[in-house]
Amino acid sequence: MNAASVFFRVMNAFGKPIIMNVSDRIDEIRVDISRLKSEGKRIGFVPTMGALHSGHLGLIELAKKNSDIVVVSIFVNPEQFGPNEDFDRYPRQLKDDLEKCRSAGVDLVFTPERSEIYDEKKFLKIGIDKLSDHMCGGSRPGFFEGVLLVVNKLFNIVTPDIAVFGQKDIQQFQIISKMVKEFNHPVELIMAPIARANDGLALSSRNAYLSDQERKAAPGLYRCLQYIEKQIQSGVDTPKLLIEHQKGELEAKGFKIDYLNVFDSKTLEPSETLREGNNYILAGAIWLGKTRLIDNILIEF
Ligand code: AMP
C-alpha cells in the first residue's frame, strides 16, 4: 500500500467497520478485485472524472442495486480533452469526492495518476466509424477516441460485471455500448437517467464554472428541448424549422449554439424526417460564456 492509498473506516449500524479502500495503483486494485471475485462478489463500476455531484451519486446508487461491490474511478482523462479545452481548469476535489463516495457506501475507489494509466508514448488508437461524426463528436474531434481508450483500459483493470453511465452523455453511452459489443467486453451496461437541479438544469461538474447570471439562464437549454419535444409529440415530424426558430430564441438570450437537433438513436446521425416506431435523441450543446453545457431528451416517435 503506497502513501497515496488511504483506508476510510466508519461503523455501520451493527458496529462493524466498513472499509472503503482507495488506491491509485492498478496492481492493488487488481488484487482487491480478484479477491472479491473469488468470494463470488459481483462487481459494479462507475467511471467518473470526479467533482462528484448528485448525478454521480445516482449512478453509484444504481450500481449498488445491481452488484455486491461498487468500484468508482476518479480520473480526469487527458486523452479526451482537446488542446484548447478545459483540462487544466477542470475541477479537482479529491478529498470531498472521497467523502461523498464513503457516505454513498462505495467499496473501492481507483484514483490513478496519468502515468499509471498512460505510457509516455502510445502506439495504438481506437478508431470510431461514423458514430462520432455528429453531436459532441462533431464539435470535439478526438474526444470519443479518448473516452473509449480510457474506458477500455478501465474495463480491463476493474473487470466489472456491470458498469453504469449517465444518459446525460448519451452519445458516450451509445459509443461505449458499441465498443462493449464489438470488443466483447464481458460487462453489462446500465444507463442512469439525467439528474437535474430543481430548475431543470442537468447537473454537471462544469456547472461550477457558471457565473450567477449564467447559472440563472442555463436551464433555458432544457426548457427549449422540452418545448421541441412537446411539438414533436403532438405530431411535428419534420422539426427542422421548429429547431431553427428555437436556436434563434436561445441566441437572443445570449447562448451560443454548438448544436441542437434530433438524431437517430442508433446511427447518431441527424434525422430530418421522424418515422413512427423509431427512437430519437433530441440533443443540444450550447456555450454560456466559457462554459459548454449539454442536455438531451429521448423520444419514442
Ligand atoms: P463525468 O465525471 O462528467 O465524466 O461523468 C461520469 C458519469 O456520470 C458519466 O457516465 C456521466 O454521464 C454521468 N453523469 C454526469 N452528470 C450526470 C447527470 N446530471 N445525470 C446523470 N448522469 C450524469
Say whether 60 sits in a helix, a strand or coil.
Answer: helix
User: Could you tell me if the CB of 136 is within 6 A of ligand 1?
Assistant: no
Residues annotated as catalytic (active site), given as ranges: 56
E-state strands within the chain:
6-11, 17-23, 43-48, 69-74, 108-110, 162-166, 188-192, 256-264, 279-288, 291-300
In this structure, the residue with its CA closest to atom 13 of ligand 1 is 166
User: Could you tell me if the CB of 134 is within 6 A of ligand 1?
Assistant: no
Cell of 62: 444504481
- Determine the Cα–Cα distance for residues 24 and 113; give it in Å rounded to an integer: 7
User: Could you tell me if the CB of 100 is within 6 A of ligand 1?
Assistant: no
Cell of 53: 455531484
User: Could you tell me if the CB of 191 is within 6 A of ligand 1?
Assistant: no
User: What's the gap between Cα 293 and its chain centre?
Assistant: 13
In this structure, the residue with its CA closest to atom 17 of ligand 1 is 55
Do residues 292 and 286 touch, judged by C-beta distance below 8 A? yes
Cα–Cα distances in angstroms (integers) from residue 6 to residues 22, 29, 68, 98, 105, in the given order? 5, 13, 21, 10, 16
List, in order of start, the domains of the chain with CATH numbers: 3-192 (3.40.50.620), 205-300 (3.30.1300.10)
User: Could you tell me if the CB of 192 is within 6 A of ligand 1?
Assistant: yes
- Determine the Cα–Cα distance for residues 121 and 192; give it in Å rounded to an integer: 35
Q: Which atom of ligand 1 is nearest to the CA of 194?
A: 20
> Of 215, 40, 163, 29, which Cα lies nearest the Cα of 109?
29
> Of 270, 283, 23, which Cα lies nearest the Cα of 158?
23
Q: What sign does the dihedral 264-269-274-276 (CA atoms) show?
A: negative
Q: Which atom of ligand 1 is nearest to the CA of 206?
A: 3
User: What's the gap between Cα 66 and its chain centre?
Assistant: 18
Tens digit of each residue's pLDDT, the chain (301 residues): 444 455 555 554 454 456 899 999 999 999 999 999 999 999 999 999 999 999 999 999 999 999 999 999 999 999 999 999 999 999 999 999 999 999 999 999 999 999 999 999 989 999 999 999 999 999 999 999 999 999 999 999 999 999 999 999 999 999 999 999 999 999 999 999 999 999 999 999 999 999 999 999 999 999 999 999 999 999 999 999 999 999 999 999 999 999 999 999 999 999 999 999 999 999 999 999 999 999 999 999 8
User: Could you tell me if the CB of 81 is within 6 A of ligand 1?
Assistant: no
Our mutation pick for probing the ligand 1 site, out of 52, 54, 59, 204, counting the most ligand atoms within 8 A of Cβ, is 59
* pTM of the full structure: 0.95
- Determine the Cα–Cα distance for residues 121 and 123; give it in Å rounded to an integer: 7
Do residues 151 and 176 touch, judged by C-beta distance below 8 A? yes
User: What's the gap between Cα 155 and its chain centre?
Assistant: 15
Quote the ligand 1 centre to 190 CA distance (angstroms).
13
Our mutation pick for probing the ligand 1 site, out of 79, 86, 165, 191, counting the most ligand atoms within 8 A of Cβ, is 165
